[in-house]
Structure 1
């Protein structure tokens, strides 16, 4: 069946797809939102980058981003990167056993159902458009590097000159 790592990889890709208008997202930003450690995120993102599902950029303003159109990336594309057992072609396993009542053919049929089902869903199916609008407006107001707004300077409440000082003393 599908491992927890693969489920986390799907969640990471859905999160990145939802943040595509915000630019590159760092693992430091993703870690608290997805409740995953930074090193675990990097282990997930490395094979996804190697298979051109996500792109990475180093340096200031860098991070990870979904590569390409999210309506063309199926959930199966993400799953097949991390699941070796589901990645086997049916023709290789079909020669092992022609009897449909054996466990091997049952597993093969189950894998085909999983593959077909996951191929029918894309990342676009899981991205919430209302959150996408919020992210876009956040980027427009905060900028590409997501700096926090500066705190208003504190104005001292003291006299500005000796004349004001003498007026306060009287």
Structure 2
């Protein structure tokens, strides 16, 4: 029922909220920490910005921050940006032929996420922002050996200098 984009949006909001005291969070920092592509992050952040959940500032010292009080933003406020409900999917006089359990499950999800505030998921200590580069690349290839450079003259004209 909940898409990966919604889960990623919740992770983004939790990370930004955890860094709130340290300043704004850049897209590259979010990308490195959450292992998401920059284009995916930008689409998530644009939707969140349009719904006034995050705000942004450009330039040096810029980045994203949560707009408003963390205790007043529910996880459903974030999820509803990306998740269409069965009520939203119905248009006008059309009746949705959904089973009762689908309606019940959707109501449970909405109620649960509405009761959870963003501040409930923010750790007391800010997350470390230092990202260490992995020693082994992601394909786990062995590092290449240094190329051998010959110690001989490069041309006939340099040959007389070597003798």
Q: TM-score, normalised by structure 1?
A: 0.68
1-structure distance, mates of 2:104, 2:50: 29
2:119 aligned with 1:128: no
Q: How many pairs align? A: 129
What is the TM-score with the length of structure 2 in the denominator?
A: 0.71
User: Which residue of structure 1 aligns with residue 48 of structure 2?
Assistant: 48
Whether 2:107 is the aligned partner of 1:112: answer yes
Q: Distance in 2 between matches of 1:96 and 1:83?
A: 20
Which of the two has greater helix per residue? 1
Superposition deviation, residue 86 in structure 1: 5.5
Query: What is the CA-CA distance between 1:38 and the residue it aligns to?
Result: 0.9
Structure 1 outlier segments of 4+, above 3 Å: none
For the residue of structure 1 that corresponds to 2:64, the secondary structure is strand
- C-alpha distance in 1, partners of 2:17/2:95? 40
Residue of structure 1 in register with 2:26 after alignment: 26
RMSD of the alignment, in Å?
Answer: 2.6
Distance 1:87 1:37, change over 3 A: farther
Q: Which runs of 5+ in 1 are unaligned?
A: 136-170
1-side partners of 2:4 and 2:42: how far apart?
A: 15
Deviations 1:50-87 (A, max 9, x none): 00000011111111100000110000000000111366
